[in-house]
Amino acid sequence: MAVLVYTENWDGKFKKTSFELVSYANKLAEMFNTNVVALSIGPVSEEELALLGNYGADKIISAAAGQFKILDNKVYVNLISSVAEKENAELIVLSHDNTGKALAPGLSVKLKAGLVSGVVELPSSTDPFTIKKKVFSGNAFARVEVKTGIKVLTLAKNSFEVVEKDGIAQIEALQDEVSQGDITTKVNEVNKQTGKILLTDAEIVVSGGRGMKSPDNWGPIEELAELLGAATACSRPVSDEGWRPHQEHTGQTGKIIAPNLYIAVGISGAIQHLAGVSSSRYIVAINTDKDAPIFEAADYGIVGDAMKVLPQLIQAVKEMKVS
């Protein structure tokens, strides 16, 4: 028995969530008295792979064949499940992000394994296997019992601390190839931002709502984000109006994010908006209306006009950086 964790990379670098995952898998393996096997797909350097050992992976398998460069759900599911079988993995852990959501369901069927998506903790009991997950877009939790021998879990972001430890893992290259006929997804074009901080991976997010009044007023939001090393986001009406790109829309129907700090400027805090951001560690709200629901979700708030408050904040951050 082993715990298998799929650690995704982005342009050859592991995401923070991958380290969260390995830390989680390490604790899970302790509960079951077993080892952690991490699987990396796509080209990643030895040096980067070795990092996984610092978070508790005992063995790292790297499948670097060029054919794995693009995400073909079927090809990936076949690969991960064959590794799971070879390693005798009874627990398979992925991140609850786009890729995890794409692959976990297929793995569940292929391995006849119950799936619990968006888990937030270690299991509260190993037999019966019971674990807590988010439901109602974070407005509640459910305890789920898994009845199958093998289990697939996706871990909600920010629900587990990254724990560094001294560990050295053995790295193994997997030579598997895919026969051309198995690949049914063909990528014709990729349109990808480079250099900018990814909204889904950002530690700090500065977000604007309809209270910003006009797309011309976004200067201070961008400036503050830049100073804080943050990504920018927005509420749905703002992206619907075309004030900001769709990729920035957070909320139930947009991106679900969990940064350390979410700064909501001119956002009322509708339940659908909060569904996408309520897992943030800290929320700051800036709003003219002291009764806006965002203040119920926020840790810190300023009641005031964004166009007056933002320049002050920018000034204060600049001063902080100097001192």
Partner 1 sequence: MKIIVCLGVVPDTTTKVKFSGDNKEFDTSGVQWVINPWDELALTRAIQLKEDAGNTVDKVVVITVGSITTEPVIRKALAIGADEAVRIDVAPKDSYEVAFQLSEFLKNEQDQHFVFAGIESSDYNGAAVGGMLAELLGVNSVSSVSGLEIEGEKPRIFRDIDGGVETLEVDIPFVAIVQKGIAIEPRIPAMRGIMMARKKTLNVIPPAGTEAYTGITGFELPEPKPPCKIIESENAKELINLLQNEAKIL
Ligand X SMILES: Cc1cc2nc3c(=O)[nH]c(=O)nc-3n(C[C@H](O)[C@H](O)[C@H](O)COP(=O)(O)OP(=O)(O)OC[C@H]3O[C@@H](n4cnc5c(N)ncnc54)[C@H](O)[C@@H]3O)c2cc1C
Whose tokens are 């920035």? That residue is: 248
Query: Got the DSSP string for 12-43?
Result: TEE-HHHHHHHHHHHHHHHHTT-EEEEEEES-
Amino acid at 184: T
- Pick out residues in 194-223 that bind partner 1 (CB under 8 A): 194, 196, 198-201, 204
For ligand X, the closer CB: 254 or 301 = 254
- Residues in contact with partner 1, shown as a per-residue x/- string from 229 to 268 under the rule CB under 8 A: -----------x-----xx-x--xxx-----xx-------
* Site for partner 1 contains 31 (CB under 8 A): no
For partner 1, the closer CB: 58 or 97 = 97
Amino acid at 217: N
* Site for partner 1 contains 61 (CB under 8 A): no
Q: Is 122 exposed, middle or buried (0-12, 13-18, 19+ CB in 10 A)?
A: middle
* Site for partner 1 contains 62 (CB under 8 A): no
Residues that bind ligand X (CB under 6 A): 209-211, 235-238, 251-254, 266-268, 270, 272-273, 276, 286-289, 292, 305-307
One residue of 41, 60, 228, 234 binding partner 1 per CB under 8 A: 228
For partner 1, the closer CB: 53 or 259 = 259
The helix or strand, by DSSP H or E, that contains position 196, with its residue range, turns out to be: none
One residue of 82, 88, 139, 170 binding partner 1 per CB under 8 A: 139
**C-beta of 215: minimal distance to ligand X in Å?**
13
**C-beta of 137: minimal distance to partner 1 in Å?**
6
Distance of CA 163 to the CA centre of its chain: 17
**Binding partner at 244 among partner 1, ligand X, none, C-beta below 5 to 8 Å by kind:** none
Residue 235 is encoded by which pair of tokens?
Answer: 């509420």
One residue of 43, 105, 167, 237 binding partner 1 per CB under 8 A: 105
Q: Which stretch binds partner 1 (CB under 8 A): 19-27, 41-49, 55-63, 95-103?
A: 95-103
Q: Are 62 and 49 in contact (CB under 8 A)?
A: yes
**Which residue, 13, 174, 6, 183, is CA-closest to 97?**
6
One residue of 34, 67, 130, 158 binding partner 1 per CB under 8 A: 130
Q: Are 249 and 236 in contact (CB under 8 A)?
A: yes
* Site for partner 1 contains 173 (CB under 8 A): no
**Which residue, 129, 270, 278, 130, is CA-closest to 211?**
270
Q: Is 290 exposed, middle or buried (0-12, 13-18, 19+ CB in 10 A)?
A: exposed
